[in-house]
Amino acid sequence: METSRPMPVPTPETAHFWEGTRLGELRLQVCDDCAHTYFPPRPFCPRCASRSVSLKRASGRGTLYSYAISHLPAPGFTPPYSIAVVELEEGPRLMTNIIGCPQEPEALQLDAPVEVVFAKQNDDITLPLFKLVEA
């Protein structure tokens, strides 16, 4: 029996992010005072602590910054699978999975261009996963 993967639990601070993923948007926050774009969502800027922040729709493009390939079974994952950090064009980095390619070092080259793919999990959660951009 396959167990589904653990799901994030939206909070008031992250609700806008999960609303965006349901709509096919990757939303980031940007500080109105120092212009720092950041992730994960929080009610204040991590650089200057200003509470004056706005939402910004990200391009959904970035590069593969780091990854590990897991060969261990985990709920909702079939090994091997990648646990990756993607650096978005806008600057922030986020943890995700790379999908749609062989889960091996030859396919997962650091700095490779990636783009977001939205994977609906249930009525509340759509996960932002990433795939390699074809050359």
Amino acid at the residue 42: R
pTM value is 0.93
Q: Looking at residues 91-96, what average pLDDT do you find? A: 98
Is residue 3 situated within a structural domain?
no
Amino acid at the residue 15: A
CA dist 94 and 103 (Å) reads 19
Is residue 4 situated within a structural domain?
no
Name the residue range of residue 102's domain: 15-132
CA angle 21, 27, 33 (to 5 degrees): 160
Domain count for the chain, please give it: 1
| pLDDT-derived band at 134, boundaries 50, 70, 90 | confident
